[in-house]
Structure 1
Amino acid sequence: MMQDGNAYRTALIERMGDYAKLSPDTMRGMALMDNASNKAGHLDAKVHELIALAVGVTTRFDGCISVHNGG
């Protein structure tokens, strides 16, 4: 059964918060990588998100697709 996309995204983001409590260093590392690519200035925010979405699609990772499609 397919979930409502917005509900799935909300639940996923909540679970990411739970994970951050369990493994804060991992989440800081992920944020550091994401922010570093933004700071480089080679890609604008829209292109960065489109690439992240494409990675999610090609790896068939529903969570990544949900988060990077903008809800």
Structure 2
Amino acid sequence: MNSTIYTEKQFNPSNRLTIAAKTASEKQKTDLNQILIIGRIVILLLTVGLMGYTKDRLLNAIHHSSFWL
């Protein structure tokens, strides 16, 4: 749990708004980071899948080509 010691300045309403805005922007950053991480994982999976598909097609083409006869 996060425990914060508040100074007298932080109880000023305008400072509280600033703290709330900072907290909101930090939350947005973490949300964005999670989206980026998920995006990277999806791209990685798609790339690996595409590579496997291409490799199978390539091996199939080599196997069935008349070049080896």
TM-score (norm 2): 0.32
Higher helix share: 2
Larger radius of gyration: 2
TM-score (norm 1): 0.32
